[in-house]
Amino acid sequence: MIRRKKTCWTAIMMVCVLLISGCSIWPGQDDSANNKKVALTLWYWNRSIDDKLIAKAREQFPNIELTAQKIGGDFKAKLKTTLAAKSGEPDIVALNDWIMELFPSEDRFYNLYDLGAGDVEDQYLEWKWKQGVTPSGQMIGFPMDTGPTALFYRADLFKEAGLPSEPAEVSRQLNSWEAYAAAGEQIKEKLGGKVFLTDNIGSVYNQVLSQGAERYFRPDGSFIGMDSPLVRTSWDTAIDFKQKGLLANADGWTPGWNAAMNNGEIASFVGAVWMKQVLQEAAPDTSGKWRVARAPGGDGNNGGSFLSILKSSEHPQEAFELVRWLQSPENQLEQYQTLNLFPSAPGVFDSPAMKEEEPFFGGQATGSVFAESAQHVPDAFFGERYPSVHNIITRRLNDVAKQNADAQQVWTDTVHRVERELQR
Amino acid sequence: MAVTEPHLTPEPGAVRPDLDRKKSLLSQIWEHRALYAAISPFYILFAVFGLFPIGFSLYLAFHKWDGIGVMTYNGLNNFKYMLTDAEFWQAVGNTFMIWIYSTIPMLFFALIVAFLLHAPFVKFRTLFRVGYFLPNVTSIVAVAIIFGALFANNYGFLNYLLQSVGLPVVEWLNAPWGIKVAISSMVVWRWTGYNAVIYLAGLQSIPQTLYEAAKIDGASGIQSFFRITIPMLRPVILFTVITSTIGGMQLFTEPQILVGNDGGAGAAGMTIVLYLYRESFINNYFGYGAAVGWGMFLIIALFSIVNWKLVQGKSS
């Protein structure tokens, strides 16, 4: 009797343990076998794809059972964890401009060229398309939106300082970083030193760099060196801005930045098209006073995302058809209207939706400025180690800007630090 | 002894399993399987979520791994890199500075708070206890955001106060010491009440008769505080020092939210765990991150022993 009781208890305990530890005793049944629909999972983050477009996709592809999951929090970390675990991977996944960090793991993705991506290549911006292609020639990311850059400036403050205030004139006169710095000094002088030309040193460095073609690495993975002309120019320009006192030292994504923008302490900044939204939310009181002109020194790009198909997907062809449809030029244009995602398909740049006047920018149609910029972004190679090298440099620049560290000393340290980093 | 103790003598036929040396350990376990099954969840969970990660991180510390691709054996290179990395040592230094800035005032305030809570004239004690404990359960992310607004360089509340009394503005989040003060103040705010409640429990366990005896012998209030209260509290103080050492060495969320993954201006807010996090999850050097984790383990162990000796040593 006691013995049976014990056995019974043991059984109960074991079941409890299994339940707690989340083990499943019975293998999951395969639904797809008796269901003709193809099941696809899509991972994206809030505001990267319009929810209405996803609903439309379900109508467009009745044979696809689409599960679209908005992944919150640290998207990249979650994706990497899933990739490391090799289980529970989605079929389609959105990637941001950190796509190059995944190039060493290109074998975990389908080569979109194999699925027919080449057929639509000419519909997209060449430089954007290339960002999704690994050095070995595999295409792992299909173009979503882009982030062409331009100069955001306060027309009223520019006027007060005796500078041109009309976008066309600003684009023409402030066409180089030197001219832009000179304008900054004029603003400082005329407006009693209360208004800074731009926000922070990192943004100056980053924007000069993003206008050039050669970054830190060549496509074969070799390091160009810290003495590459582009890196030197970007560094020197950033230091020059600091020494001339043109920086408000307001870091992006902080309440201080928002406040400085809203209070009119910052007269301008070079930023990507998505900064429109950021600025409108940060500085509602300055509505109507901003304008957008072509960036000094040339056009560049910040950010922009991609869609990828993971190798674990059982239905890559269907997934690719879906991706191609979601990011077709027409749908990209629609998402420009709904979510302000700037298209990577130049074919729609001339459509009326891109030329709408915006009250926040004093009725200027800023879409055409960014469209012009997007078509002149230089073709640049990043490489998977770009983020770590770039991060070291911008971090050290901040020491110069905020703690008045000696620029020459910091440069020497930075070169040393980058060399160490690359030996790892 | 002539008196026999019949209840200790085994009855004939009845086998006392714990005294039975003839049975092997396994068969004993099998006999008590129901009991072992009952306590197994803890061990299973510990093995899966505690033991395995610890072992894996040690394995990882000798490898190079980007988190997705293949792991390659890296020997002692991760440790070599760590020992020669100026940023690592800066992080160690920062962590100690923040620990000193926060622990000393925190334990001091906690002792005062506990003493006041223990005083006979205080009413609504439970309310106060709950009130002092509340910061400890507040979301640390929310706390960091509020402190960020307090210490902000421009438009910060502290700078507003300084300005309104005619003092110059301090760039808290640009100065190396300012960042440390901001982080430390968050730690103090959060943990003072927690430690106060522990001290209070310690105070309440001191027998009242000791104070009465001291009073009869003519001891003053201050004398009985230093001769009775503090010595009797020593084990409790030791406990709080050790826990705040471990907690202080593992500081992460406060600096991360206040100054970001790079530790703010001049990396002045870069703590060891923040460095570990950045190297592993931002820069994808998971093997190196594991090595830093083990480095930190050694530092905490050494430092705890030192603290233990210091606090314990005085009493004996």
Distance from CA of B281 to the nearest CA of A (A): 7
Q: Residue A144 is encoded by which pair of tokens?
A: 């979503």
Average pLDDT per 10 consecutive residues for chain A, totaling 424 residues: 56 57 46 69 95 95 95 90 91 95 94 96 96 95 97 97 96 96 96 94 97 92 93 97 95 89 96 95 96 97 96 96 97 94 96 94 96 95 92 93 92 95 89
- CA–CA separation, A403 and B76 (whole Å): 36
A249 and chain B: CB distance < 8 Å anywhere? yes
Count of alpha carbons within 13 Å of A27, Cβ hemisphere only? 2
CB contact under 8 A, A16 and B154: no
Q: What is the pLDDT of residue A16?
A: 56
The confidence score (pLDDT) of residue A95 equals 96
Q: How confident is the model over B160-194, as pLDDT tens digits?
A: 999 999 999 898 988 999 999 999 999 999 999 99
pLDDT value, residue B122: 83
**pLDDT at B312 (0 to 100):** 72
Q: Residues B76-85: what's their mean pLDDT? A: 95
A337 contacts chain B (CB < 8 A):
no
Among A residues 102-121, those touching chain B with beta carbons less than 8 Å apart = 102, 104-105, 108
Contact state of A105 with B155 under an 8 Å Cβ cutoff: no
Predicted confidence band of residue B2 (pLDDT cuts 50, 70, 90): very low
Note the pLDDT of residue A20: 53
SS3 A307: strand
* Amino acid of residue B178: G
Give how far the C-alpha of residue B102 lies from the chain's centroid of Cα atoms, to the nearest Å: 12
| B207 to A203, A255, B87, B233, B234: CA distances (angstroms) | 64, 53, 50, 12, 15
CA distance B307 to B286: 31
Give me the residue from B67, B69, B265 closest to A398, CB to CB. B265
Q: Are B49 and A64 in contact (CB under 8 A)?
A: no
CA of B189: how far to CAs of B97, B115, B143, B149, in Å? 17, 18, 9, 15
Asked if B67's CB is within 8 angstroms of A80's CB, the reply is: yes
**CA of B33: which chain A residue's CA is closest?**
A10
What pLDDT is stored for residue B282 in this prediction? Answer: 87
pLDDT, residue B68, reads 87
Q: Tell me the residues of chain A between 384 and 423 that have a Cβ less than 8 Å away from chain B.
A: 387-388, 391, 395, 398-399, 402-403, 405, 420
Picking from A103, A266, A403, A416 by the largest number of B CB atoms within 10 A of its own CB, the best residue to mutate is A403
What integer pLDDT is reported at residue A13 of this predicted model?
60
As a whole number of angstroms, the distance between CA A275 and CA B2 comes to: 95
Q: Which of B69, B155, B267 sits opposite A256 (nearest CB)?
A: B155
**Does the beta-carbon distance from B67 to A84 stay under 8 Å?**
yes
Pairing of strands A290-293, A64-70: unpaired
Shortest Cα distance, chain B CAs vs residue A305, angstroms: 19
pLDDT at B156: 86
- Residue B146 contacts by C-beta under 8 Å, 6 or more apart in sequence? none
Indicate the residue of A6, A255, A402 with minimum beta-carbon distance to B34: A6
Q: Does the ipTM surpass 0.85?
A: no
Cβ contact (<8 Å) for B45 and A20?
yes
> What is the chain B residue with the closest CA to A79?
B68
A153: which DSSP letter?
A: E
Please give the sequence-ordered ranges of beta strands (E in DSSP) within A297-358, or none if there are none: 301-309
In this prediction, residue B24 carries a pLDDT of: 86
User: Which one-letter DSSP state was computed for residue A264?
Assistant: T
Interface of B with A (CB under 8 A): 33-34, 37-38, 40-41, 44-45, 48, 66-69, 81, 85, 148-149, 152-155, 171, 174-176, 262, 265-267, 281-285, 288
CA B14 → CA B11, B29, B32, distances in Å? Answer: 6, 19, 16
Q: What's the pLDDT at B51?
A: 96
Q: What is the pLDDT of residues B50-65, one digit of tens each?
A: 999 999 999 999 999 9
Burial category of A370 from C-beta neighbours within 10 Å (exposed 0-12, middle 13-18, buried 19 and up): buried
Q: Check pLDDT > 60 for residue B316.
A: no
pLDDT of residue B155: 79
Count of CB atoms within 10 A of residue A244's CB? 14
Report yes or no: A13 at the B interface, CB cutoff 8 Å: yes
Alpha-carbon separation of residue A65 from A49, A88, A310, B106 (angstroms): 18, 17, 17, 57
pLDDT at A131 (0 to 100) = 95
Cα-based distances in Å from B150 to B55, B102, B136, B183: 42, 17, 19, 12
Alpha-carbon span A345 to A121, nearest angstrom: 10
Q: Is B232 left (phi over 0), alpha (psi -120 to 50) or beta?
A: alpha
Does the beta-carbon distance from B37 to A250 stay under 8 Å? Answer: no
- Which residue is closest to A86 within chain B, CA to CA? B68
Q: A82 CA to chain B: closest CA distance, Å?
A: 9
pTM, rounded to two decimals: 0.84
* Residue of chain A with shortest Cα separation from B81: A424
pLDDT of residue B144: 87
Which of B34, B66, B155 is opposite residue A259, by nearest beta carbon?
B155
pLDDT for A35: 56
Distance between CA atoms of residues A80 and A78, nearest Å: 5
Query: Of B40, B267, B284, which has the smallest distance from its Cβ to A17's Cβ?
Result: B40
Contacting residues of B for A398, CB less than 8 Å apart: 265-266
Binned at pLDDT 50, 70 and 90, residue B308 comes out as confident
Predicted local confidence at residue A25, as pLDDT: 46
For residue A110, report the phi and psi dihedrals to the nearest 5 degrees.
Answer: -75, 145
Nearest to B149 among A17, A80, A255 (CB): A255
Q: Are A383 and A224 in contact (CB under 8 A)?
A: no
Residue A9: list chain B partners with CB under 8 A: 34, 37-38
CA atoms within 13 A on the CB side of B125: 14
Contacts of A266 (CB under 8 A, 6+ apart): A195, A196, A197, A198, A199, A248, A250, A260
Q: Which residues of chain A make contact with B155, given a CB cutoff of 8 A?
A: 255-256, 259
Which chain B residue has its CA at the smallest distance from A82's CA? B68
pLDDT > 90: what percent of chain B?
60
How far from A250 is each of A266, A398, A411, CA to CA, in Å? 9, 11, 22
Contact A4, A12 (CB under 8 A): no
Task: Tell me the C-alpha distance between B194 and B136, whole Å.
Answer: 6
- Angle CA(B223)–CA(B225)–CA(B226) in degrees, nearest 5? 70
All structural domains of chain B: 79-312 (1.10.3720.10)
**Which of B149, B281, B285 is nearest residue A77 as measured by Cβ atoms?**
B281
Helical (H) or strand (E) element with A286: none
Question: How far apart (Å, rounded) are the C-alpha atoms in residues A335 and A329?
Answer: 10
**Secondary structure of chain B as H, E, C letters:** CCCCCHHHCCCCCCCCHHHCCCCCHHHHHHHCHHHHHHHHHHHHHHHHHHHHHHHHHHHHCCEECCCCCCCEECCCHHHHHHHCCHHHHHHHHHHHHHHHHHHHHHHHHHHHHHHHHHCCCCCCHHHHHHHHHHHHHCCHHHHHHHHHHHHCCCCCHHHHHHHHCCCCCCCCCCCHHHHHHHHHHHHHHHHHHHHHHHHHHHHHCCCHHHHHHHHHCCCCHHHHHHHHHHHHHHHHHHHHHHHHHHHHHCCCHHHHHHHCCCCCHHHCCCCHHHHHHHHHHHCCCHHHHHHHHHHHHHHHHHHHHHHHHHHHHHHC
